[in-house]
Amino acid sequence: MDGIRYDVAVLGGGPAGTALALALRRSAGLSVALFERSTYAHAHLGETLPPDSRRLLSQLGVWEAFARQGHVRSMGSCSRWGNSSLGYNDHLRSPWGTGWHLDRARFDRMLADEAARHGVDVRTGTAVTVWKPLEGGGHRLRLPVEGDASGAFVDARFVVDATGRSAAFATSQGAQRHTVDRTFGLCGTFALQPGRTVDALALVEASVDGWWYSARMPGDRVVFGLMGDRDSLQGLTAKDPQAWRTRMERAPETRRRLEACDFTGASLRAVPGNVACLDRLHGEDWLAVGDAACTFDPLSLQGTSQALRSAQQTADAVSRSLRGDSTALRLHEVRVRHQFQEHLRIREGYYRLERRWAGAPFWRNRQQSPAPLPFSAAPNPPSLGKNA
């Protein structure tokens, strides 16, 4: 691999990176290398895909591989938000059928395997952290080596930063992350007790501390999470699951679900939930995508589906840029900015619906106006289609 030159190097093998790598190979025929620091062995918290993801997975050429994995079908969602009654958003009328509750580790591994099958040079267990610009454009990426081996490297005409919230490459190029809202969650996944079950609806339930999320996962497991902020979750830690469970008493629908699970030996994970966006999403020969570019509120449940939805448009922008279109990346950035600001608008309205605990720290903090964004977006972003 030493000295091989690629059209595109993708740093990060989550859904945003692998979906884009697939799109670049299938639609543009570019040579692509993908570097992922993990081996997809660690468990992820569950996530839900909406029904129209079947169309997106088909466009990427991975629908059959996905269908064979046996993810749990999602019949929709329900929420207790703004009042004490449950509201439902089911998939009965969707032309695409049901959604899915994902085993994220298996899903991510499948996307990487399919990328490799379509010709992407996928390198797992490879954390690329050193790079330098090349004369004439592009970058040389230093690869980790063991022992006294000489330094290996690859060259790429273009680098995609899909390293998640760290945005490691983009920030090394001078980009800075602008945080709109700082939140975090404490989450756990528990096995169902023998003979017990929960329905196939994702549940969101507001409480004085923030909001709870729960959903059925593959393998007769259920994921639970409490999202809040530093003020509302003060004193709670991942090392004290009993205190976390005590807070659940304020969320009766969520508590009933937990009663069907085995809480013995419970362990929790702290997960970030910041809403943020880079002030600069691209340079002449690089682009940030997925969580490296923008992170949405977890309440939107859009992370993975947004990565799939944007893959083709992003691939078009990258391939056009490599063909000499000097406007492609700028127009792509306008589109992403517009989507982020639209997300903020919808998010603000949704949080304002919940007034039962207006004086509680979490809800009071969500009513405050965020600091102005250090960028603006076009109200009607232009098309980035192939014929644009």
Q: What are phi and psi of 205, to 5 degrees?
A: -135, 120
- For residue 324, is it within any domain? yes
| Segment 292-331, tens digit of pLDDT | 999 999 998 777 889 999 999 999 999 999 999 999 999 9
Burial per residue of 109-120, b for 16 or more beta-carbon CB atoms within 10 angstroms, e otherwise? bbbbebbbebbb
Do residues 262 and 308 both lie within one domain?
Answer: no
Taking phi over 0 as left and psi of -120 to 50 as alpha, with beta for the rest, 324 belongs to left
User: Which of 235, 254, 272 represents a domain boundary (last residue)?
Assistant: 272
Q: Give dist(CA 258, CA 251) in Å, integer.
A: 11
Identify whether 62 is part of a domain: no
The kind and range of the H/E element at 283 are: strand 282-283
Domain-embedded: residue 84: no
**Pair (280, 267) in one structural domain:** no
Per the domain annotation, does 78 fall within a domain? no
Closest-CA residue to 303 (of 169, 164, 195): 164
Query: Final residue of a domain: which of 272, 297, 322?
Result: 272
Same domain, 117 and 159: yes
pLDDT digits (tens, 9 = 90+) for 149-172: 556 899 999 999 999 999 999 999
Same domain for 262 and 144: no
Could you tell me if residue 35 is inside a domain? yes
124 and 213 part of one domain = no
The total number of structural domains that make up the chain: 2
Residues 196 and 154 in one domain: no
233 and 257 part of one domain: yes
Q: Are both 203 and 252 inside the same structural domain?
A: yes
Q: 250 and 296 in one domain?
A: no
| E strand spans, 125-274 | 130-133, 139-143, 152-161, 177-181, 184-191, 201-207, 210-217, 221-228, 269-272
Q: Find the CATH number of the domain harbouring 328.
A: 3.50.50.60
> Residue 11: in which H helix or E strand, if any?
strand 4-11
How does pLDDT run along the chain (388 residues), one tens digit per residue? Answer: 457 899 999 999 999 999 999 999 998 899 999 999 999 987 677 788 999 999 999 999 999 999 999 898 888 899 999 999 999 988 767 787 888 988 889 999 999 999 999 999 999 999 999 999 999 899 999 998 764 455 689 999 999 999 999 999 999 999 999 999 999 999 999 999 999 999 889 999 999 999 999 999 888 999 999 999 999 999 999 999 999 999 999 999 999 999 999 998 889 999 999 999 999 999 999 999 999 999 999 998 777 889 999 999 999 999 999 999 999 999 999 999 999 999 999 999 999 999 999 999 999 999 877 666 766 654 555 544 443 3
Inside any domain, residue 292 = yes
Longest Cα separation, the chain:
65
Q: Of 339, 358, 379, which residue constitutes the final position of a domain?
A: 339
Quick check: 271 and 45 in contact, CB under 8 A? Answer: yes
- Give yes or no: residues 322 and 207 share one domain: no
- Residue 38 within a domain: yes
Helix locations, the chain, DSSP H = 15-28, 53-59, 63-67, 104-117, 168-172, 241-247, 252-258, 303-322, 328-352, 361-367
Provide CB contacts within 8 A for 299, sequence distance 6+: 204, 211, 227, 347, 350
Residue type, 70: G
Distances (CA, A) of 343 to 251, 255, 287, 301: 26, 30, 21, 12
| 189 shares a domain with 168 | no
CB atoms within 10 A of CB 319: 21
* Count of beta carbons in the 10 Å neighbourhood of residue 257: 23
Is 311 domain-assigned?
A: yes
Whichever domain contains 242, its CATH number is 3.30.9.100
Other CB atoms within 10 Å distance of the CB of residue 187? 21
Residue 259's domain spans which residues?
A: 183-272
The reply to whether 41 and 109 lie within a common domain is: yes
